C-alpha cells in the first residue's frame, strides 16, 4: 500500500484542525476596538497553535516523503498522532478563554508533549518497518530536537503553576527550535 | 470511472467527521482542574468514536484499494455509509453531555449498527459489480467480524437500559476486535 | 490547466457542506427518547439535504470527468455553484428549527433552484469552452431533468405558503428523479 | 519536493475557510421573512468574503501551477498566507453581527491587506527560489494589481471611520479588479 491516501487523509485532518481553531475566536458583540481587547489572548494562543500545527504538517510532509509503503501499524500510529493534534484546538480555546492561566497552560503543554511522543512513536514504527534506510535513519538521527522538546514540555507543566508565562516562553522557544532551518539550529547546538 | 475521486471525497468527509467531534468538547469556563472533570465522559466518548471512525477509514482504505472502478450504485452505497458515519459525532456528543446514560448509549449502538450494515452493503455491491475477484471474495469471506459486530450492537441497544456500561464494554470489545491485526483475532476465534 | 485541482477543491467544499449540516443537529440536553422528538424534523431535513448534496457531488463527478481543461470562466462558474450549495446547510437548519413551516421551506426551494441554475450555467460554459464534444453534448442533451427541477422548485416556493408539505413532496420527487438511474427515468418519461 | 501536497493542503484549508463562513449565518429563531432581515448584512459580507477567498484560491491555483518544487521557506510563506486568510471568516462574522459599522469594517480591510502582503511575499520567495523563470517573472510583472489593492485597503482602514460604506465600496472595487480577466483590466489601466 502506498502513502498517497495516508498523506491525503492526514492533510485533510490537519487542515481542519488548523482552521477550526478560528471558530474559537468568537465574534464579539460590541463594535468598538475595546470589544477586541479580550480577544488578544485568544488570538495569541491561536497564532502559537497555528505555528505548532504548521510545524507538524511540515515535518509530516517531509517525513512521509521518504516513506514508500505503509501497513496497519503505521496507519494507527498516524491516527494516534492526529488524535493528539486534534486536541490542540480545545486546549488553545481554553487558554484564550481564561487569559493564560495555570491549568489551561499546563494542559496545553501536556497535549503538545503527547503530540511529540506520538510523532516519535510514528517515526520509530516507520523505521522498524522500513529497516535501515540511510535517509530515514539520518532524519531520525537528528531527533535531539524531539528529546529537547519533550523535556521542555515536561518542565512547562509544573512551571505553569509558578507562572504560566514561563511555560508560554518555553512553548515559543520550542516552536522557534523547529521553525528555524535545521542547519542554523545545529550550529547553535554544536 | 476510477476510484480516486470516490476515495478523495470519502477521505474528506471522514476527516471532517473525525475532527468536528472535537467541537463537542466545549471549552470550560473555569480555569481549574475541577472544571475539566465534567469533560471526562465527553473525552472518553470522543476517544471511542475517534477509534471507530479510524477503523472505518482504515477498512475503507484497504477495501477501496482492491476496487478498480465504480458506478452509480457504488457511489450511493458509499454515500449511505458516510451518512451513518456522519451521525457518530451527534451520538458521541449526546453521550458526553449526559454522562453515559441509557438512551444516548443505545442510540450510539443503533448508529454503529447502521454503519456496520452500510459497510456490508457497500462491500456486497462492490462484489456484485466486480464479479468473482478472488482477492475481494477473500476480504468478504472474513466478514464474520461484521456479523459479530452487528450482533454485539443489537444486544447493546436493550442492554443499555439495564446498565449503559455493559453496552460501552461491548462497543469497546468490538473496537478491539477490529483494531487488532486480523491474524491474531483469527487465531483467537479458531 | 487540468481539472484535477478544481475537482479536489470542489470535493473538499462539498465534503464540508455535507458534513457541517450535522452540526445543526444540536445535542439535546435531556437524556430521554422524548428529548429526541423535536429533532425529527431536523433529522428529516438533514436526510433530504444530504441526498441533494450527494446528487450534486455525483453529477459534478460525472460531468467533470468529461472535461479536460478549465479556464477562469469555468473556475468561477464552479465557485458560483459551490456558493449556492454552501447555503443549503443554513436553509436546512432553518427548516429543522421551525418544524417545516412556510418561509423556511420556500427559502429552501429558492436555494435549490439557484443551485440548479448555477449547475446549468456551469454546464453551458463548459460546453461553450469545449466546443462540440459529442459526449458532453449528449450529457447536456439530457437536461430535461434540469428544466423539470427548476419548474418544480419554482412551483414549490408559492406552494409552501399553501402547505409546506406540498413543497417538501416536490423536493422529494425531484430528488428521486435525479437519484434513479437515467435509463429508467428516460423510459418513464418517454 | 514537489508542489502536490502543498496544493492539496492549501486547497483543504481554503475549502474549509470558504465553507465555515456559512456557520456565521446563524439560523434565525422566527419563521417569517422578517426574521431573515437582520441576516442581510451577514449575507452580503458572506458574499464579499466568498468572492475574496475564491479570488485567492484562483490566483493560488494559477501561481502554484508554474512552481515545480518547494522548500521550507515556501511552505512557511504559504502557511503565513493561509493564516491571514483564516481570519477572514472572523472579520466577516464581526461585520455581519454589527451591520457594517466602522471598527469591524476597518479590521476587515486590515486582514485583507495582510492577505495581500502575504501573497506578495509568497510570490517573491517563489521567484527568489526559482531564479529568473520568464513565465514566473511575467506573472509577477503584472503585480500592479497587488500594489493598487494594498493602497486601497490602506485607505479603506481610516475611511471606515468616516463612512464604512466607502470602505466596502473600495473592497468591492478591488474584488472587481481581480475578478475581471486580466486583459480587459490591462486595457482599462493602459
What is the percent of chain D where pLDDT is above 70?
Answer: 87
Give the position of cell 479458531. Answer: B190
Give the position of cell 478591488. Answer: D174
SS3 for chain A is CCCHHHHHHHHHHHHHHHHHHHHHCCCCCCCCHHHHHHHHHHHHHHHHHHHHHHHHHHHHHHHHHCCCCCCHHHHHHHHHHHHHHHCHHHHHHHHHHCCCCHHHHHHHHHHHHHHHHHHHHHHHHHHHHHCCCHHHHHHHHCCHHHHHHHHHHHHHHHHHHHCHHHHHHHHHHHHHHHHCCHHHHHHHHC
Q: Exposed, middle or buried by CB within 10 Å (0-12, 13-18, 19+), for D69?
A: exposed
The Cα–Cα gap between D75 and B30 comes to: 37
Q: Classify residue C169: in a domain, yes or no.
A: yes
What is the percent of chain A where pLDDT is above 70?
Answer: 87
| DSSP letter for each residue of C72-134 | HHHHHHHHHHHHHHHTHHHHHHHHHHTTS-HHHHHHHHHHHHHHHHHHHHHHHHHHHHH-S-H
3-state helix, strand, coil in chain D (%, to 5): 85, 0, 15
The answer to whether residue A151 neighbours chain B at the CB level (below 8 Å) is no
The Cα–Cα gap between D148 and D176 comes to: 12
Q: Classify residue A23: in a domain, yes or no.
A: no
Give the position of cell 458515519. Answer: B85
The DSSP symbol for D55 reads H
**Which segments in chain B show pLDDT lower than 50?**
184-186
**Which segments in chain D show pLDDT lower than 50?**
184-186
The Cα–Cα gap between B93 and B99 comes to: 10
Contact in structure between D145 and D63 (CB atoms under 8 Å)? no
Q: In this predicted structure, what is the pLDDT of residue A88?
A: 94
The Cα–Cα gap between A136 and A174 comes to: 23
The Cα–Cα gap between B43 and A75 comes to: 22
Please report residues of C whose CB lies closer than 8 A to that of D31.
Answer: 94, 98, 101-104
Q: In this predicted structure, what is the pLDDT of residue C162?
A: 94
Q: In this predicted structure, what is the pLDDT of residue A185?
A: 46
Q: In this predicted structure, what is the pLDDT of residue C185?
A: 46
**Cα A53 to the chain's mean position, in Å?**
5
Q: Classify residue D51: in a domain, yes or no.
A: yes
Contact in structure between D178 and D63 (CB atoms under 8 Å)? no
The answer to whether residue B65 neighbours chain A at the CB level (below 8 Å) is yes
Q: In this predicted structure, what is the pLDDT of residue D4?
A: 80
Picking from B1, B9, B86, the nearest residue to C11 by CB comes out as: B9
Contact in structure between B12 and B79 (CB atoms under 8 Å)? no
Please report residues of D whose CB lies closer than 8 A to that of A61.
Answer: 1, 5, 9, 75
Range of the domain at D166: 4-18+39-189
Query: Across chain C, what does the average pLDDT equal?
Result: 85
The contacts of residue B97 (CB under 8 Å, 6+ apart) are B42, B104, C27, C28, C29
pLDDT band at C3 (very low <50, low <70, confident <90, very high): confident
User: Minimal Cα–Cα distance from A29 to chain D, Å?
Assistant: 7
**Which segments in chain A show pLDDT lower than 50?**
184-186
The answer to whether residue C40 neighbours chain B at the CB level (below 8 Å) is no
User: Minimal Cα–Cα distance from C1 to chain D, Å?
Assistant: 8
The answer to whether residue C129 neighbours chain D at the CB level (below 8 Å) is no
Q: Classify residue D34: in a domain, yes or no.
A: no
Q: Classify residue C23: in a domain, yes or no.
A: no
User: Minimal Cα–Cα distance from C161 to chain B, Å?
Assistant: 31
Q: Classify residue B26: in a domain, yes or no.
A: no
Contact in structure between B129 and B144 (CB atoms under 8 Å)? no
Picking from B15, B36, B65, the nearest residue to A12 by CB comes out as: B15
Which tens digits make up the pLDDT trace of B51-97? 999 999 988 887 787 777 787 788 899 999 999 999 999 999 898 88
Please report residues of B whose CB lies closer than 8 A to that of C32.
Answer: 103
Do B102 and C31 make contact, defined as CB atoms within 8 angstroms?
yes
The answer to whether residue D51 neighbours chain A at the CB level (below 8 Å) is no
| DSSP letter for each residue of C1-48 | --SHHHHHHHHHHHHHHHHHGGGGSPPPSS-SHHHHGGGHHHHHHHHH
pTM of the predicted structure, to 2 decimals: 0.89
Do B27 and A75 make contact, defined as CB atoms within 8 angstroms?
no
Structurally, chain D folds into a number of domains equal to: 1
Picking from B13, B72, B89, the nearest residue to C18 by CB comes out as: B13
Q: Classify residue B90: in a domain, yes or no.
A: yes
The answer to whether residue A65 neighbours chain B at the CB level (below 8 Å) is no
Amino acid at each position: 500500500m502506498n502513502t498517497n491516501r495516508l498523506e491525503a487523509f492526514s492533510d485533510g485532518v490537519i487542515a481542519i484542525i488548523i482552521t477550526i481553531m478560528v471558530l474559537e475566536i468568537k465574534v464579539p458583540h460590541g463594535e468598538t476596538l475595546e470589544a477586541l481587547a479580550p480577544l488578544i489572548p485568544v488570538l495569541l494562543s491561536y497564532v502559537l497553535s497555528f505555528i505548532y500545527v504548521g510545524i507538524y504538517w511540515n515535518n509530516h510532509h517531509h517525513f512521509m516523503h521518504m516513506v514508500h509503503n505503509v501497513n496497519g501499524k503505521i496507519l494507527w500510529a498516524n491516527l494516534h498522532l492526529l488524535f493528539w493534534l486534534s486536541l490542540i484546538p480545545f486546549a488553545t480555546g481554553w487558554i484564550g478563554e481564561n487569559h493564560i492561566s495555570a491549568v489551561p497552560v499546563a494542559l496545553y503543554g501536556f497535549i503538545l508533549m503527547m503530540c511529540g511522543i506520538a510523532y516519535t512513536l510514528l517515526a520509530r514504527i516507520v523505521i522498524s518497518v522500513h529497516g535501515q534506510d540511510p535517509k530515514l535513519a539520518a532524519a531520525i538521527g537528528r531527533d535531539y530536537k524531539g528529546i529537547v522538546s519533550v523535556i521542555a514540555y515536561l518542565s512547562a507543566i509544573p512551571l505553569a503553576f509558578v507562572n504560566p508565562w514561563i511555560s508560554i516562553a518555553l512553548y515559543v522557544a520550542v516552536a522557534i527550535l523547529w521553525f528555524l532551518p535545521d542547519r542554523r539550529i545545529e550550529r547553535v547546538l554544536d
